[in-house]
Structure 1
Amino acid sequence: MYNHFFNSLMLAFEAQKVIELRLVRIAWGGREANAEMQSMVSEKIGASIEAAGTLMTGGTPEVVILRYREHVAANTKRLRAA
């Protein structure tokens, strides 16, 4: 139970950083902003399909949260590099 709560809390904190980085990129405008908006939508659709598939095949919510944290970490790394 504690680990589930901790991972959920960390996901919330880590996602806030991605939101900040994305908003800055969108505020700059241009092609990068358009590409980021399209990426946001496609990533969210893909992640929700992946999460649903995990749960339907017997995965736990904890597995879904850990996988979302991996996606968030990859986005943070990508957005900081640019």
Structure 2
Amino acid sequence: MSRRNPWLNIGFAMWSLGYEASTVIALRTLKIAAGGPEASAESRRMIDEKLQAGAALQALAMTGALGVTAPAAAAKTLSHYRRKVRANRRRLTKI
């Protein structure tokens, strides 16, 4: 079924990314709420990462690296952001 309709897999990937992103948001909120220099650094890092991820995705789109079909572009976009979210989750859950 997913071969005929790639949007099913993309929908599941979007749901998974949303779940992981909400986890990262909660972890970052806790870190920022704790205050201090680490909170300030996390806030700066969060903004920098968002700008860098958006710029990198735009560069991929401009060079055609996201693919020529809408499902391919959507899947690669999700993959791009998912790598960033997973890296943040791993970093924020380290003890």
Name the TM-score class by shorter chain. Answer: over 0.9
Q: Which runs of 4+ in 1 moved over 6 A?
A: none
TM-score by length of 1: 0.94
TM-score by length of 2: 0.82
Aligned residues: 82
Aligned positions of 1:2-81 closer than 5 A: 2-58=8-64, 59=66, 60-81=73-94
The share of aligned pairs that are identical, in percent, is 38
Q: Which has the higher helix share?
A: 1
The structure that has the greater radius of gyration is 2
Q: Using CA pairs below 8 Å that are at least 6 residues apart, which structure has the higher relative contact order?
A: 1
Distance 1:7 1:57 in 2: 24
**Structure 2: unaligned runs, 5 residues or longer:** 1-6, 67-72
**Structure 1: unaligned runs, 5 residues or longer:** none
